[in-house]
Amino acid sequence: MTAASGVQYRKRTTVADIFIPGAIIALIGSLASFNIWPHWFLRLRARNWPTVSGTVESGEVSVSRGRYGELFTATLSYSYRVDEQYYGGSDSKVFNNDEKGAWDYVTSQKEAPALVTYNPKNPETSVLRR
């Protein structure tokens, strides 16, 4: 507002003023709430890592209940060997409102041979191939 005229000037709100901050908040919220970013990024990096034979040792199913139903997480524990040294890891797969599907997955994979990709610089870091 200027003292002489008493006129107020206001900046016009554009679509970009609303959309860009909203998109950034939505992206950060999605990555944090689904907790998929670290696993997805690890799988992406592991594409060119060496592959060895391993074994799925065990599996379990956990449940989390939310407003829109239940999420069943099937977690497989596996082992593999690199240069005569044994290592282990785990891998999870989420089933939306499907407990039987989660248990069927665990049962079908348990004690089965598996392919494992590992970081050649740090063999403790690995990804179970599906």
pLDDT of the residue at 128:
94
**pLDDT at residue 3 tops 60:** no
Average of per-residue pLDDT values in the chain: 85
Confidence of residue 28 (pLDDT cuts 50, 70, 90): low
- Read off the pLDDT of residues 53-101 as tens digits, 9 standing for 90 and up: 999 999 999 999 988 899 999 999 999 999 999 999 999 999 999 999 9
Task: Output the pTM of the full model.
Answer: 0.69
Residue/partner pairs of 102-110 with CB below 8 Å, 24 or more apart: 102/61, 102/72, 102/73, 102/74, 103/61, 103/74, 105/59, 105/74, 106/59, 106/60, 106/61, 106/74, 106/76, 107/59, 109/56, 109/59, 109/76, 110/56, 110/58, 110/59, 110/76
What pLDDT is recorded for position 106? 97
- In this prediction, residue 100 carries a pLDDT of 97
Q: Point out which residues pair with 1 in neighbouring strands.
A: none
